Amino acid sequence: MSDVLIDHLFSLLVDSSKPDSWQRILNDQESGKSEEVKWEDGLFSFTLKGLHQMVQTIYDVEFKDFQQRLYAGNLNERLTEVGLSVVVHQSTGKVASNWYQVKTL
């Protein structure tokens, strides 16, 4: 069974890899001004908290549930199929506060 939230994240992350789409993505989200989500060195960067803030404007989901659904989903596998990967960009030693980036394989 497909998870609508994970499907939305997949589309968001795929769109973030396309030139000039990052600004539209950030503008489309109320949390686009969040310091937890940004365009950095030509790549979409985020913390899990920032990604949660973006989807929370559409889906009423608590952070803990968001994390569980993210970890249980097949997001990374789906991204790999389209030539993308989410990698740790800046480690803080804690999954929830690490910075991640979407990169091409």
What's the number of domains the chain is made of? Answer: 1
Instruction: Give the model's pLDDT for residue 52.
Output: 87
Q: What angle do CA 51, 71, 103 make, to 5 degrees?
A: 55
pTM greater than 0.85 (yes/no): no
Contact 51, 96 (CB under 8 A): no
Provide the residue range defining the domain that includes 88.
4-104
Task: Give tens-digit pLDDT for 62-84.
Answer: 999 999 988 888 888 888 998 88
3-state helix, strand, coil in the chain (%, to 5): 50, 20, 30
Reported as a pLDDT band with limits 50, 70 and 90, residue 10 is confident
Task: Give tens-digit pLDDT for 16-71.
Answer: 666 555 555 555 554 445 688 887 777 888 899 988 888 787 788 899 999 998 88
Tell which residue, 29, 65, 26, 58, has the closest CA to residue 45: 26
